[in-house]
Structure 1
C-alpha cells in the first residue's frame, strides 16, 4: 500500500515524518524549493505496513476571486454580489499543487495533517480536491490526523487513530470567504473610486499612486473601536466632584479611611454632610465593623491565543502579529503546543507533571519546577483551573520541551518564556493572604479602610508580571471602640478622560465582540495600520493606537449614511460568526447564510451609493480640522 500524508507546513511534515519513520526517512525535492517530500514506512490501521510519502502545502492551496469578466473596471460594482466565483492559484500554489497531484497519482490513501481548526479543515479539503484531480480512486479513502503538538507519542497516537475531515467546518469557512470576498470587493472598489484620487491629491505628493481604501467585515469594526475611544476622549468634559476623607493615628503614621459614598458632584450636599459630621461627632468616630478573613490571588487560567497576544502586548510591548508569528515558529520547532486555540481547560488525560518535569533542566525555573513536583514548601503541583471555553480542537497553549538557551530570535525567546511561566503558574497553588476591612462611623457617614497581608506567594514567584503585595498594616480595632480622628477633610477632584486605546485593550474588545478569531485578530489590527486608518503613538513607555483623519472619516461617513450599526460596530460580524457556528453544528446550511448576508450587503451598497456625497462631505470636514 502507498499512503500520501500532507501537512500544512514543511516544518510540520519534516517533524512528523521523522517521528513516524523512526528517524529513517529519505528526502526528495519538489517543484517548490521550500517544499520537500519525505519517504519512509509506517503501519497504519487502515492500510497496514505501507510506503509513505509525507509532503506539505504552505497554507491555503487556492484562493477565491471573481471571474475575469468581473475584474476591477470591467463591470458595474453592484454586479459583484452575484458574479461567478472561481478558485485561483498563485505560481507557488500551482507548483505545490503539481507536487500533490504527482505524489497522489499512485496512492492508495491520503492522510491530511493540517492544523485541527476550521481553517485547517478547509485547507485539508483543498488538498483532497487536488489529489482527486490526479486519482479519482482516492474518493472515500481520505483520513485526517488529529493532533495539537509535535511530541512523539502524541503524533504516533494521531497516526494510529485517524478521523475524517469535517465537511461542515469546510462549509463554514467557504461561507465566510465568499461573504468577505463579495462585500470586500464591492465596498473597496466603491470607496477607492470615490475617495482614492482625493486622498492622493491631499497627500501633497507623499503617495506615489492612488491608495486603495479597503473594506473588510472585520477591519471596520476593529477601526470602529479605536475611533470610538478617540471620540470619547475628544468630547470629554471634565467635571468637579467632592468627597470626604478621614484618618486615624496608627503608631507613628496615620491610616486613611475612604468615604463609602465615593464622591458626589454636588458641592453643597457634600458640604452639608461634612458639617453634620463635625457637629454631631466632632473628632470622634465609632468602629462599626471589622472583617478579617483569608483571601487568595488566583493563578491564571490555562493559556489561550487571545490571552497570549494580549499579555505579550502588555508585558513586552509586542504587537499581536509579532507574538503570534513567534508562537507559530516555536510550535513548528516543537517547543510549544499549537498556538491557535480558544480552550482554557486542560483535558483530564494529559500528563501535566511530565511537562513540568521537562522544565527542571532550565536554570531559569528549574528550582521552581522541582519544588512543584517534590511538594517541598507551601507551593505544590495542582491541577490547573478550568475555564469556560473549549473549542474541541486543541488544548490550551503549553511548553512541550525545554528550549534552554537554544533560541536566537528575541521575540521567540520572550514568547517561550511567557508560555512556560504561565504554564508553571497554572500548575501551582494560588497565592494566599489575609484581608482586613475596618468600617468607621463618623456622624451619619461611614468610612472604610482595607489591608492585605500576603502569607504565601506561591505562583507569584514564577509569574512575576502579576503583582500582589502586602499593604500598610491596619490598626488593631474592635467593634464598638471609639477612636479619635487625626484628620477630617472635604476634598475635591476632577474626572479624567480614558486613555487612548492600547493594542491589548483592542484585542480584548475584538475577542469579546466576536470580531475575527483567535488566529486572525492580529491580521486585522495589522491591516488597518497598513491602510493608514490608524497609527501607533508612543507616550512615555506606553504605545497607543490613534485613528488617522481617514480612519475617522470612514467611520463617521458611514454613520452619516445611517450604517453605524452595520459597519463600524461589531453587530453584523458577530451575527455572521453565530451563523458560521450554526453551520458547523449542522443547524444552518451554507447557501442560506450566504444569501441572507449578501442580500443585506446589497441593501447597504444601495444606501451608500445614493448617499455618497455624505462620505465626501465628512471626509472634507474631518480633514479640515485635523
Structure 2
C-alpha cells in the first residue's frame, strides 16, 4: 500500500515524517526549493498496515479566485455585473509546482492522507489538495489526520485514527472566499476609479475595500473622533484626611466627583458643620486575585503587544514557528478550557529543568498543582495554547521567539497553580450626610504570580486601626479641583478586543486585518507620546484618507455602513452555522449579495458624499 501525506507547511511535513519514520526518511527535491518529499515506511495498523509513505506539503492555499478575462477591464465593465459574474477557482501561479508534485505523487498512491491544520481553513486547504490529487488519480481515497500538536505520541495516535474531511467547514471557507472576492472587487473598483478621477494625489493609488478591513478602520476612526471632539471639563471632589498612629489616611468620597462647583461647596459645608467624622463600618475579608484562564489565540494576540511589545501579527507568526518545531501546541484556537482527561502533570514535568521556572514547576508536582479554570469557549478542535516541550533560549532563533515561548509557558504554569490570596480591610466613615471609604490590602500568598510575571498585586500601606463608631476630627477636609482627561487612541490590544467583541475576522485573521489597514495607508501605528505608564505604547491613528473613507460612507446614509461591524458580524455568525451544518453555502452567498446590492446602488447614487469628504480631508477644503 502506498500513502501520500500532505501537510500545510514543509516544516510540519518534515516533523511528522521524522516522527512516523522513526527519525529515518529519504528526502527528495521538488520543483519548489521550499517544499521537499520525504519517503519512509510506517505501520498505520488496522486496514492500512505497513505502507510506503511519501510526506510532502503545500504552502497554505493552492488555489485562488478570479473572474474570466472578459471582466478584467475596470473601466469598461460595470461594477454591478460582478455580483453575478462566474468565479473561477484555479491553482495559483505560485502554487503550480506544488500542485504538479501532488498530482505526480498521487498517480501511483492508494490513499491521500491530509495533514493540514485542524481548523476551518485547514479543512478547505484539504479539499484543494484532494481535488488536485484526484486530477492525477481519480481512484485515490482520502483520509484526514486529526492533530493539534507535534508531540510524538499525539502524532502516532492521529496517524492511526484518521477521520474524514469536514465538508461543512470547507463550505464555510468557500462562502467567505467568494463573498470577500466579489465584494472586494466591486467596491475597490468603484472607489478607485471615482477617486482617482477626482484627486491628483490618488491618481496612482488603488483604494482597496475589504469586508473586514473597513470595520477595523471604522473602530480606529471612531476613537480618533472621540479624541478630536474631547473638551476638558472641570470637576470638584472632597478630600477627607485623617492622621492616626503616625499614618496619614486619605478617604475617597463616595460621590467621587461633581461637575458643579456650587454643589461641591454645599456638600463641603455640610461636612464642616458636622465637625467630626464617624466610622460606620469596618470590614475585614479575604481577597482573591484569580489566576488567568487557559490561553486562546485572541488572548495571545492581545497580550503580545501589551506584555512583550511584539505586534499581534508577529506574535502569532512566532507562535506558529514554535508549533511547527514541536515546542508549543497549535496556536490557533478559541478554546479556553483544558479537557479533563488531559495529562497536564506530564507537561509540567518537562519544565522542571528550567532555571527560571523549574522550581515553580517542581512545586506544582509536589502538591501545589490546582486544576486550571474553565472558560466558556471550546471549539472542539484544539486545546488551549500550551508548551509541549522544554526549550532553552539559546536554541531559539531570536529574543522575540524566547519572549513568546516564555509567555506561553509561564501562562500555562500559572493556570495550573492557585489563585493569589490576600486580606483586605475596608473602613467606611460618614461626615454629615457624606460618605467616604478607604481600603488596605495585605498579600498573603502570591501563588501563580510567582511565575506569571506579567501581572502585579502588591500590598498597600497598612491602615491604622479603626473601630466601629469611632469619631475623629479630620486633619483636613477641603475641595480639590480637577479636569477630565482626553481618551487615548486605540492600542492594538484594544483594537483586537473590539474586533473580537464585534465578530470582525476570526481569532487567526484579526492580526492580518490590522496589518492590511496599515499596508493600505488607511491607518498609521505610532508610539504614544508623553510620560507615565502609557508612554511608548503603540497606538493607531487614521490617515486623512482613512478618515475621509469612513466619514464618506457614514454620510451616504447606509442602513449598515461599510465601516461599521454589523454586516460582517452577521456574516461570521452565518459562516459558523454553515460549519455546524445548520445552514448552506449557497443560501448565505445569495442573502449576503442581495444585501450588498442595495449598499452598492446607494453608494453609487450618493458617491458625492465620499468625494466631498475626500476633498475636506485630503485637500483641506
Distance 1:58 1:230, change over 3 A: same
Match of 2:371 in 1: 383
Residue 569 in structure 1 maps to residue 558 in structure 2: no
Match of 1:23 in 2: 23
Match of 1:303 in 2: 295
Q: In 2, Cα distance between the equivalents of 1:301 and 1:527?
A: 30
151-160 or 583-592, which moves further after superposition? 583-592
Question: Map of 1:324-473 to 2, 5 A cutoff?
Answer: 324-375=316-367, 380-404=368-392, 405-473=394-462
| Residue among 88, 91, 101 paired with 2:90 | 88
Q: In 2, Cα distance between the equivalents of 1:146 and 1:308?
A: 23
Deviation of the 1:250 alpha carbon = 3.0
Deviations 1:393-452 (A, max 9, x none): 111111111111211222211111111111111111111100111100101111010111
Q: In 1, Cα distance between the equivalents of 2:341 and 2:98?
A: 38
Deviation of the 1:46 alpha carbon = 3.6
In structure 1, the residue corresponding to 2:487 is in which secondary structure? Answer: coil
Q: Does the aligned pair in 1 maintain the 2:227–2:487 contact within 8 Å? A: yes
Deviation of the 1:42 alpha carbon = 1.6
| Residue among 471, 482, 502 paired with 1:493 | 482
Match of 1:206 in 2: none
Match of 2:39 in 1: 39
Residue 475 in structure 1 maps to residue 464 in structure 2: yes
| Residue among 589, 594, 608 paired with 1:594 | 589
Deviation of the 1:483 alpha carbon = 2.1
Q: Does the aligned pair in 2 maintain the 1:81–1:598 contact within 8 Å? A: yes
Deviation of the 1:564 alpha carbon = 7.0
Deviation of the 1:176 alpha carbon = 0.6
In structure 2, the residue corresponding to 1:91 is in which secondary structure? Answer: coil
Match of 2:201 in 1: 202
Q: In 2, Cα distance between the equivalents of 1:614 and 1:53?
A: 58
Match of 2:257 in 1: 263
Residue 294 in structure 1 maps to residue 282 in structure 2: no
Q: In 2, Cα distance between the equivalents of 1:590 and 1:565?
A: 22
Question: Map of 1:67-82 to 2, 5 A cutoff?
Answer: 67-73=68-74, 74-82=76-84
**TM-score, normalised by the number of residues in structure 1:** 0.96
Q: In 1, Cα distance between the equivalents of 2:444 and 2:428?
A: 24
- Unpaired runs of 5+ in structure 1? 204-208
Deviation of the 1:24 alpha carbon = 2.2
Q: In 1, Cα distance between the equivalents of 2:445 and 2:573?
A: 44
Q: In 2, Cα distance between the equivalents of 1:250 and 1:579?
A: 63
Q: In 2, Cα distance between the equivalents of 1:189 and 1:536?
A: 27
Deviation of the 1:197 alpha carbon = 5.2
Q: Does the aligned pair in 2 maintain the 1:72–1:189 contact within 8 Å? A: no
Match of 2:549 in 1: 554
Q: In 1, Cα distance between the equivalents of 2:446 and 2:2?
A: 57
Q: In 2, Cα distance between the equivalents of 1:240 and 1:64?
A: 57
Match of 2:505 in 1: 516
In structure 2, the residue corresponding to 1:262 is in which secondary structure? Answer: coil
Match of 2:139 in 1: 137
Deviation of the 1:198 alpha carbon = 4.8
Deviations 1:537-586 (A, max 9, x none): 21242221110000000000001101373311111100001111111122
Distance 1:564 1:483, change over 3 A: farther
Q: Does the aligned pair in 1 maintain the 2:150–2:326 contact within 8 Å? A: yes
Deviations 1:319-346 (A, max 9, x none): 1111111111111111111111111111
Deviation of the 1:29 alpha carbon = 1.4
Q: Does the aligned pair in 2 maintain the 1:555–1:564 contact within 8 Å? A: no
Match of 2:121 in 1: 119
Q: Does the aligned pair in 1 maintain the 2:175–2:589 contact within 8 Å? A: yes
Match of 1:49 in 2: 50
**TM-score, normalised by the number of residues in structure 2:** 0.97
Number of residues paired by the alignment?
612
Match of 1:102 in 2: 104
In structure 1, the residue corresponding to 2:538 is in which secondary structure? Answer: strand
Residue 582 in structure 1 maps to residue 577 in structure 2: yes
Q: In 1, Cα distance between the equivalents of 2:90 and 2:204?
A: 26
Q: In 2, Cα distance between the equivalents of 1:72 and 1:327?
A: 41
Q: Does the aligned pair in 2 maintain the 1:451–1:473 contact within 8 Å? A: yes
Q: Does the aligned pair in 1 maintain the 2:554–2:561 contact within 8 Å? A: no
In structure 2, the residue corresponding to 1:395 is in which secondary structure? Answer: coil
Q: CA RMSD in A?
A: 1.4
Residue 313 in structure 1 maps to residue 305 in structure 2: yes
